[in-house]
Each structure stands twice: as C-alpha cells, then as structure tokens.
C-alpha cells in the first residue's frame, strides 16, 4: 500500500516513500536513521521494509530542514550535474559563498544557491548540503556525528593546535578544534576546498587546510601539535610503502602493504608534540592482525599507547561494523611513559548511549601482560579476562589439589620384606600377578605426581597473579 492510499494522522510510509517525497536516495534515509538518534522509530513492517509514522517523519524533517523545497531542488540540480561526485558540487557552492565567484558552477545552480542563502544564510545552506552529502553518498572523507562525539569524548579538551592529516570535508577537525588553531591535509581537492570554506563560513580564521597525499607528500613536515586526530582511509590497496621504506616516521617499524592503518598511526604520532596526544579511528582487525604484531609490540613496549576503546556497532558513517579508538601520548620525558594500557569495551552499548564505561567495561592491563606471542590488543579479550573470579578459581584448584594428594596415598602399594634376588622362572603365577600389580601402581603414582606438580604450579601462578593485582587477599 502506498502513502497516497492511506488517510488519517497516523499514515505509515516506507523508507523508499520518504526518500521519494524528499527527493533523496533510499540510502540517504538509511543514513539519517543510523546517524541521528532522534529519527522516528519504526512502528511496523518487516526487517527489510519497516514503516514509519508520516507525521513524525515530517516533524523530524522540518526540524532538520530536510523538507525545505528550495534545498531539495538545489540538491537535485547538483545531482543531475555532478552525479556521484557530489562533494565537488557542494564545494563549488561553498566557494561561491566565500569568494563570490561561481566559476565551477553553472548559472542555474549558482542562482538557486544564492536565492536559498538569501532566505537563511550561506553557512546554513552549506550545512544543510553537507548533511545531505553525509547522508546520501557517505563518501570516504566524511566522519559521521556519532564517531565525532566519541572522539571528542575521549580526546577531552583541546589546547593549542589540532591537526588532522586526513581531514576529509573537515567535520572531525572543526568539531575538535573549536577555540584552537586548526591544521589539516586532505588528498581529495574538492573535500579540502569544502573543509576550508566551511571553516571560513563559520568565521574561523585560524584554519588552514592543505591538499595532498599526507603519507607520500606531508604538507606539514615541521608541525608538532598538542592534539592529532584522524579517521584515516582503510583498506587502501597502496599506501606508498615501496616509496617510503626509509622514511623516518616508521620509528616503530615499517608497516606491511596490508597494514596501511599502522602507517597512518605512525604518521600521526610523528606530528605529536612532547606531552601531546593522538587519537585515531581504527578497524578492529588492526588490534590483532599477525602482520602488525611487531609494531604493536613496540608501541606497547615504549609505553606510547595509553588507551584502546572498542566502540559499539553503528558509530561509523561508512558502515555498521564496530571501530576502535587508539589513544597515544608522546612522553615529555622517559619517566612519563605509561606502565599499563587502559582497555575499554563498549561494544554492547547503544551507539547513541553514554560513552563513560562502567567498572565492568574497563581494565588497566600492565604492559608486560600485553607483550605475549600475539600482542592481541582487542579490548574485549582483556576486559573479559579481568572479570573472571580468581578467588573462586583458586579455591577450586586448592580443593582439587587436596583431593589429589589424598588419592596419591592410596596409590602407593603396601610392601613387605621379600626373598632378595628374584628368580622369575620359579615365581608362581600368583606372585607374578602381585608383582605386576605393584609395578603398575608405582607407574600410576609417578604419573599422577607429575600431573600434581603441574596443577600445583598452576595454583601458585594464579595465586601470585591474584595477590599482585589485588583480586584476592590472604586470610
């Protein structure tokens, strides 16, 4: 049933019908649902074709200005002209408002944009188009609002210069750099132009965005910032390894072709000032992939990684998979290096819920415990291990040891004086049976003594670790 055939205040519509009425793609509606906690909740339908109350959707659209017919017409004109390259179209409109020149726009689009800005403001027009850009195409260089909120939460208050070497259209950088100097670099020229224009339209004269490949051609070689943030490109087929093998930035080791994320991590760390911090968005696989084990080990060994946070699914604009936040710090002196890494597991949380972990979601892991054969830094693994009941485990082991010790006494056969040297040929069948049983009992006793030694070593190790961590205490 279509929306047109329904009546009443509680008309129900599908996502496809919402998209048609507003003039956007169905993917745009899915993006709004994923990134905006206040988008109306579905009230019916199946998993593939959910239904929404039309009046609630209209209220939400009005609140977010997505039902503005002028904005819809402008967006449709941009789509007809630029197709999938909508970043370039929105950047052209932002350039028009900043410079007054419409060289990259046709006259119809420039006229529509100017008329729409007269009704509100240039910055509101660009903000609306940027929101549509993030909600429809979801390009690689757009960081969604949920992820921005998480980065802001764990980065804390920024002071001095904030730097983002893969800033995209500038959403993360501008959100973190409020009241600070801002520097960024972006490979895509249109995205870099849009980031710079958004800053100027917001009255930010302290923002400088440079264009270029940050890994191959660092546009800020001398910059050392108190805070570096980055949502780097992932799964890049070629991050430039062959051209950068001897680069000084790889102080933790040269990443493999498959570990481009660890190249971005080291690039960001190279730009961190003494006593400064970096916070990066990473795929979960970076925490445990075999190819990155040596770099992870060096990062931990030097005490540079301070915290690793596993965020809930649905935080990223590009996909619904979980992501991690890696927090690094450059010690002002060797004595400032950390002795443990804080592991936070928020994967079970609502993506729009609180970001402060409960006591059961966080654990401080000593560096030495992370430096095993795998150097697996997955937070869930360490948080789960910290929640184990060491006291109950130790009590169970102790009881098992006592039981096994009692059993050992019964395994030793009772022996009496014998005739001396045995003559097996003259032994009776009964004597052969008795001697055979005694030797088998001694073999079993010896075997169980060895098992008991292993069990005792396990109990002692568990008790020692529990006492050291404070999980258990002596009676």
Provide the whole-model pTM: 0.70
b/e 173-206 (16+ beta carbons within 10 angstroms → b) = bbbbbeebbbbbbbbbebbbbbbbbbbbbeebee
Whether 131 and 265 map to the same domain: the answer is: no
**Counted domains in the chain:** 3
Whether 162 and 302 map to the same domain: the answer is: yes
Whether 458 and 319 map to the same domain: the answer is: no
Whether 248 and 306 map to the same domain: the answer is: yes
- Among 351, 386, 421, give the residue marking a domain's end: 386
Whether 335 and 464 map to the same domain: the answer is: no
Whether 310 and 401 map to the same domain: the answer is: no
Residue 188 lies in a domain: yes
Residue 474 lies in a domain: no
DSSP-assigned letter for residue 141: T
Residue 10 lies in a domain: yes
Whether 335 and 321 map to the same domain: the answer is: yes
Whether 375 and 414 map to the same domain: the answer is: no
Whether 180 and 115 map to the same domain: the answer is: no
* 127 Cβ contact list (under 8 Å, min separation 6): none
Distance CA 392, CA 344 (A): 25
The rounded Cα 88 to chain-centroid distance in angstroms is 29
- Among 112, 136, 160, give the residue marking a domain's end: 136
Domain that holds residue 394: 390-469
- Among 322, 354, 386, give the residue marking a domain's end: 386
Distance CA 148, CA 152 (A): 6
Whether 95 and 108 map to the same domain: the answer is: yes
195-207 pLDDT, tens digit per residue, is: 999 999 988 888 8
Residue 475 lies in a domain: no
116-173 pLDDT, tens digit per residue, is: 888 888 988 898 888 888 766 555 678 888 899 999 999 988 788 999 999 999 999 9
**Residue pLDDT tens, the chain, 475 long:** 344 444 445 788 888 888 777 766 666 677 678 767 888 999 887 666 789 998 888 888 877 755 557 888 888 889 888 888 889 999 999 999 998 887 778 888 999 999 988 888 898 889 888 888 876 655 567 888 889 999 999 998 878 899 999 999 999 998 887 777 899 999 999 999 999 999 999 888 888 999 999 999 999 999 999 999 999 988 777 899 999 999 999 999 999 988 999 999 999 999 999 999 999 999 999 999 999 999 999 999 999 999 999 999 888 866 678 899 999 999 988 888 899 999 999 999 988 888 999 988 999 999 999 999 999 999 999 998 766 556 666 777 788 888 878 777 777 777 777 777 666 667 777 877 888 888 888 888 888 888 788 778 777 877 776 776 666 778 7
Query: Does residue 256 contact residue 241 with C-beta atoms inside 8 Å?
Result: yes
């Amino acid at each position: 049933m279509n929306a047109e055939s329904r009546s009443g205040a509680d008309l129900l519509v599908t996502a496809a019908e919402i998209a048609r009425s507003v003039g956007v793609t169905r993917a745009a509606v899915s993006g709004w649902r994923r990134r905006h906690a206040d988008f109306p909740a579905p009230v019916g339908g199946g998993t593939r074709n959910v239904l929404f109350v039309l009046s609630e959707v209209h209220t939400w659209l009005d609140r977010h200005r997505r039902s503005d017919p002028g904005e819809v017409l402008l967006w449709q004109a941009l789509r007809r002209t630029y197709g999938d390259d909508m970043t370039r179209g929105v950047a052209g409109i932002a350039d028009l408002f900043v410079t007054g020149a419409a060289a990259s726009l046709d006259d119809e689009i420039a006229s529509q944009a100017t008329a729409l800005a007269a009704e509100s403001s240039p910055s509101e027009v660009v903000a609306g188009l940027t929101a549509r850009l993030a909600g429809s195409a979801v390009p690689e260089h757009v960081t969604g609002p949920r992820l921005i909120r998480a980065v802001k939460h764990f980065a804390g208050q920024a002071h001095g210069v904030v730097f983002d070497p893969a800033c995209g259209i500038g959403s993360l950088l501008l959100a973190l750099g409020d009241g600070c100097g801002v520097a960024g670099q972006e490979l895509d020229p249109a995205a870099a132009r849009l980031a710079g224009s958004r800053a100027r339209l917001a009255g930010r004269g302290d923002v400088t965005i440079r264009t270029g490949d940050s890994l191959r051609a660092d546009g800020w070689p001398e910059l050392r910032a108190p805070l570096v943030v980055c949502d780097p490109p992932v799964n890049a087929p070629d991050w430039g390894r062959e051209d950068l093998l001897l680069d000084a930035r790889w102080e933790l080791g040269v990443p493999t072709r498959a570990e481009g994320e660890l190249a971005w991590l080291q690039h960001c760390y190279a730009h961190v000032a003494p006593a400064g911090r970096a916070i990066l968005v990473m795929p979960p696989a970076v925490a445990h992939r075999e190819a990155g084990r040596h770099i992870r080990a060096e990062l931990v060994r030097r005490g540079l990684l301070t915290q690793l946070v596993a965020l809930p699914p649905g935080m990223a604009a590009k996909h619904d998979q979980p992501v991690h936040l890696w927090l690094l710090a450059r010690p002002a002196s060797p004595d400032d290096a950390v002795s443990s890494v804080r592991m936070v597991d928020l994967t079970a949380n609502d993506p729009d819920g609180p970001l402060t972990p409960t006591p059961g979601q966080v654990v401080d892991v000593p560096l030495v415990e992370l430096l095993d054969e795998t150097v697996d830094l997955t937070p869930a693994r360490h948080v789960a291990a910290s929640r184990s009941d060491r006291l109950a485990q130790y009590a169970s082991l102790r009881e098992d040891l006592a039981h096994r010790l009692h059993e050992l006494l019964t395994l030793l056969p009772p022996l009496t004086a014998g005739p001396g040297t045995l003559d097996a040929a003259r032994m009776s069948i009964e004597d052969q049976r008795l001697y055979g049983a005694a030797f088998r009992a001694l073999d079993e006793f010896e075997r169980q003594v060895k098992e008991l030694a292993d069990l005792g070593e396990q109990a002692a190790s568990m008790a020692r670790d529990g006492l050291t961590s404070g999980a258990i205490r002596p009676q």
